[in-house]
Amino acid sequence: MEYSHIIIRYGELTLKSGNRNEFLKKLTKNIRYNLQGLKGFHIQTKRDRMYIHFDNNDYIDKIIEKLKHIPGIHNFSPVLRADLNIDKAKKIIDSLLNTKLDKNYTFKIQTKRSNKHFDYNTNELNNIFGSYVLVNYPNLKVNVKQPDFIINVEVRSEGIFIFTDFIKGVGGFPVNTSSKALLLLSGGIDSPVAAHTLQVKGVEVEMIHFQSPPFTSQDALNKIFDLTTKLSEVVGRVKLHVVNFTELQTEIVKRIPSNYTMTSTRRFMLRIAEEVAKKENCLAIATGESLGQVASQTLESMNCINAVTNIPILRPLLTMDKVDIIKIATDIGTLKISNLPFEDCCTIFTPKSPKTKPKLEKIVEYEMRDDYSELIKKTLTSVETYLFDKNGKVTTKNMEIEKNLQNKFSELL
């Protein structure tokens, strides 16, 4: 079927009426970015919806696949357009119903008319098109309450738009319409999904990863690079900070009683992350924690971990079920990367029986026995920063280069 347009509906975005223009600009830019390399279409942004017009249908399937993942799109419909003329609209309905001849379907006509100058009102239009279908398609019957499909007819000043499908988008807000958060990215399944859910809400997400070479391998780090690459596909560019955690982690394991090393490790990760967050103007730290999955993810544990910082800690997956998390990971393409077997620093140093209900007084007492400030400083100087786009690593730690790229990045989005 030759679709002439896709209508994009914004959904949640409409709530933010004050920022609407800025949001629409960013959404349009992000759609253009995601459709780079595809040809034969142009985008028209209106207050309440957006149109993608096609010169030909060569790329429509690819475009539909891309649109499903772009934050700020609530749903969209491939549509056929007729000029403002009843007979032309009937012809379009014919081409739509070509695919509905194999069974006895039920249908309903649903007309919307924003163009008040058109000759017929909504009821008249429903009758005209309904009778037309009934007369010409004996296998179709009307069912107003529960039809097999709805023929939507929208009469607007730009023409008559006819379609049957609403394809679900991810919803949320356009990318980078909110401030920044720093996300603790591990090689597991959860944290990339946490990053994605924040990106969908318009949060600009920077990543921080803790590695402990030689206990963790280059393969494990490459996995983090691949996850970051994947997470930058829709949004443009993503920053990744890699912390060399070996020395600090080894000291923690030496000095802290073994059933508390995991709690302490997490507390030190947060201390480091907080410093990086401040330097990068991130207003929150985020993790992939989900309540009750493992020892570190009880409320007692979160309480002990949170106590080292005042910065808000976002846990977007907190109440989600693992099956739903895995479904998102599959959809966004991170699952197969996360499933690669390379060890994470936390897994390697995991004690045999970590405390599921650690006590804050105890962990504070254990950590007070030694002075870690020099080690923290040293660890902070080890941080390497990389910038990624959908093709992989763009640059490494040189701060000047990074600044220039960051400026370019802001222009891009």
Could you say whether residue 296 binds ligand ATP (CB under 6 A)?
yes
Amino acid at 212: S
**Whole-angstrom Cα distance, residue 107 to residue 90?**
15
CA neighbor of 149 nearest in space, from 60, 77, 53, 84 = 77
φ, ψ for residue 411, nearest 5 deg: -65, -35
Looking only at Cα atoms, what is the longest distance across the chain?
87
Q: Which is nearer to Mg ion, 186 or 290 (CB)?
A: 186
In the complex, least distance from residue 267 CB atom to ligand ATP, rounded to whole angstroms: 12
Partners of residue 242 on adjacent β-strands: 209, 384
Q: Which residue, judged by CB position, is nearest to ligand ATP in the bound state?
A: 188
Tell me: is residue 210 an annotated ligand-binding position.
yes
Could you say whether residue 389 binds ligand ATP (CB under 6 A)?
no
In the complex, least distance from residue 347 CB atom to Mg ion, rounded to whole angstroms: 7
Could you say whether residue 342 binds Mg ion (CB under 5 A)?
no
In the complex, least distance from residue 188 CB atom to Mg ion, rounded to whole angstroms: 3
- CB of 167 closer than 8 Å to CB of 200: no
Under 8 Å CB-to-CB from 324, ≥6 apart: which residues? none
In the complex, least distance from residue 112 CB atom to Mg ion, rounded to whole angstroms: 49
User: Contacts with ligand ATP in 224-253 (CB under 6 A)?
Assistant: none
Could you say whether residue 209 binds ligand ATP (CB under 6 A)?
yes
Tell me: is residue 283 an annotated ligand-binding position.
no
**Whole-angstrom Cα distance, residue 345 to residue 246?**
8
In the complex, least distance from residue 232 CB atom to ligand ATP, rounded to whole angstroms: 17
Q: Which is nearer to Mg ion, 188 or 333 (CB)?
A: 188
Q: 224 touches which of ligand ATP, Mg ion, none (CB within 5 to 8 A by kind)?
A: none
User: Contacts with ligand ATP in 166-205 (CB under 6 A)?
Assistant: 184-186, 188-191
Could you say whether residue 171 binds Mg ion (CB under 5 A)?
no
**Whole-angstrom Cα distance, residue 399 to residue 381?**
13
Q: Which is nearer to ligand ATP, 156 or 327 (CB)?
A: 327
**Whole-angstrom Cα distance, residue 119 to residue 360?**
74
Tell me: is residue 185 an annotated ligand-binding position.
yes
> How many other C-beta atoms are found inside a 10 Å radius of the C-beta of residue 214?
7
Q: Where are the beta strands (DSSP E) in 55-158?
A: 73-82, 106-113, 141-142, 149-156
**Whole-angstrom Cα distance, residue 6 to residue 252?**
56
Q: 133 touches which of ligand ATP, Mg ion, none (CB within 5 to 8 A by kind)?
A: none
Which of the 8 DSSP states describes residue 19?
G
Could you say whether residue 345 binds ligand ATP (CB under 6 A)?
yes
In the complex, least distance from residue 20 CB atom to ligand ATP, rounded to whole angstroms: 33
Tell me: is residue 42 an annotated ligand-binding position.
no
The interface region with ligand ATP, picked from 5-13, 14-22, 99-107, 287-295 by CB under 6 A, is 287-295
Q: Which is nearer to ligand ATP, 365 or 384 (CB)?
A: 384
In the complex, least distance from residue 298 CB atom to ligand ATP, rounded to whole angstroms: 11
The interface region with ligand ATP, picked from 46-54, 118-126, 143-151, 291-299 by CB under 6 A, is 291-299
CA neighbor of 135 nearest in space, from 89, 90, 103 = 90
Q: Which is nearer to Mg ion, 172 or 187 (CB)?
A: 187
- CB of 78 closer than 8 Å to CB of 119: no
Which of 288, 316, 354, 358 binds ligand ATP (CB under 6 A)? It is 288
Which of 188, 250, 335, 383 binds Mg ion (CB under 5 A)? It is 188
**Whole-angstrom Cα distance, residue 343 to residue 223?**
10
Which of the 8 DSSP states describes residue 12?
G
Pairing of strands 384-389, 238-244: antiparallel
Query: What are the respective helix, strand and coil percentages of the chain, to the nearest 5?
Result: 45, 20, 35
SS3 356: coil
- Contacting residues toward Mg ion, per CB under 5 A: 186, 188
Annotated binding site: 184-185, 209-210, 266, 288, 297
Annotated binding site for ATP: 184-185, 209-210, 266, 288, 297
- Contacting residues toward ligand ATP, per CB under 6 A: 184-186, 188-191, 209-210, 287-289, 293-294, 296, 344-346
